[in-house]
C-alpha cells in the first residue's frame, strides 16, 4: 500500500515536467480506481475489527487483496475464513441496479 501511495505522490510531482519521450513504465498515469483504493484501503484498515486481517500480496496492486476472518465468538469461533478480492477496472464508475 505504501508503495502505491508514494507512486501517486511521485507521479503528481512529475506531471508538469514529464514529456512523451521521457515517459516510462514507472511514471505512467495511475488509474482512477487505484487513486480511490489508496484512500479506501487506508480507511478499511483503520476501521477493520481485530478479528479481520487484510493482506496485499503485491503492494503495487491494491485492486487484488485477501481478507482473513477469524471469529472469536459464536458458532464459527476458532474458524479461519479467507476471501480473495479483485476490484474491477470500472470500480466506482458503473452503476449496477
Residue at 13 is within a domain: yes
Residue at 97 is within a domain: no
pLDDT greater at residue 61 or residue 52? 52
Q: What is the CATH number of the domain that holds 75?
A: 3.10.110.10
Q: Indicate the helix (H) or strand (E) that contains 17.
A: none
- Structural domains of the chain, count: 1
Nearest 5°: the CA angle 61, 66, 71 is 155
pLDDT at 22: 45
Residue at 33 is within a domain: yes
Report the sign of the C-alpha dihedral through residues 10, 15, 18, 23, in that order.
Answer: positive
Residues 6+ away with beta carbon under 8 Å from 78: 70, 71
Output the pTM of the full model: 0.62
Give the range of the structural domain holding residue 53, as residue numbers without chain letter. 2-19+27-86
Q: Over pLDDT 90: what percentage of the chain?
A: 35
Residue at 71 is within a domain: yes
Amino acid at each position: 500500500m505504501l508503495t502505491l501511495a508514494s507512486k501517486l505522490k511521485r507521479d503528481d510531482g512529475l506531471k508538469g515536467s514529464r514529456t512523451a519521450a521521457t515517459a516510462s513504465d514507472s511514471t505512467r498515469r495511475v488509474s482512477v480506481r487505484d487513486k480511490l483504493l489508496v484512500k479506501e484501503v487506508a480507511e478499511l484498515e483503520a476501521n477493520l475489527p481485530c478479528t479481520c486481517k487484510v493482506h496485499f500480496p503485491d503492494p503495487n496492486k491494491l485492486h487484488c487483496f485477501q481478507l482473513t476472518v477469524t471469529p472469536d465468538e459464536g458458532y464459527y469461533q476458532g474458524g479461519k475464513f479467507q476471501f480473495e478480492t479483485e476490484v474491477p477496472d470500472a470500480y466506482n464508475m458503473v452503476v449496477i441496479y
